[in-house]
């Protein structure tokens, strides 16, 4: 089964996660969402596959979050649109296998998919 990886090649955690996936399979679809974009609908689906709240997918250490979003309240729909318009806010790498997904930073994260 092909594995999809939402990947940012400039991110150390994302590179590490991708390397972990490569230890399990070579059937990988790498999605460079910073260049191709990511829709609010895709973000909604990923949240469902991850089984997390949309706010759990946000990188709160990003400058844009700190300066523009911290302390503000948005609906899930608004958060999805904000992430779609500012894809650096999305935690990575998100690894999708079938109907399941995980934010893979450790071997244990990856094992939940296999």
* pLDDT over 70 percentage in the chain: 100
pLDDT for residue 34 is more than 90: yes
pLDDT for residue 72 is more than 90: yes
Please pick, among 3, 5, 7, 11, the residue that the annotation labels catalytic: 11
3-state helix, strand, coil in the chain (%, to 5): 50, 15, 35
Residue 108 a catalytic site member: no
Question: How confident is the model at residue 112, as a pLDDT?
Answer: 87
pTM of the model as a whole: 0.92
38-61 average pLDDT score? 97
Average pLDDT in the chain = 95
Write the CA distances from 57 to 2, 27, 100, integer angstroms.
23, 25, 15
Q: Which domains does the chain have, with CATH numbers?
A: 3-111 (3.40.30.10)
| Phi and psi, residue 94, nearest 5° | -95, 125
């Amino acid at each position: 089964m092909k594995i999809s990886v939402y990947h940012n090649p400039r991110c150390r955690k994302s590179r590490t996660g991708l390397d972990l996936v490569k230890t399990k399979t070579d059937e990988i679809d790498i999605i460079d969402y910073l260049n191709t974009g990511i829709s609010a609908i895709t973000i909604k689906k990923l949240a469902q596959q991850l089984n997390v709240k949309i706010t759990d997918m946000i990188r709160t250490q990003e400058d844009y979050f700190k300066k523009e979003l911290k302390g503000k309240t948005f609906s899930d729909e608004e958060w999805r649109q904000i992430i779609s318009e500012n894809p650096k806010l999305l935690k990575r790498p998100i690894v999708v296998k079938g109907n399941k997904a995980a934010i893979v930073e450790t071997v244990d994260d990856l094992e939940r998919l296999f």
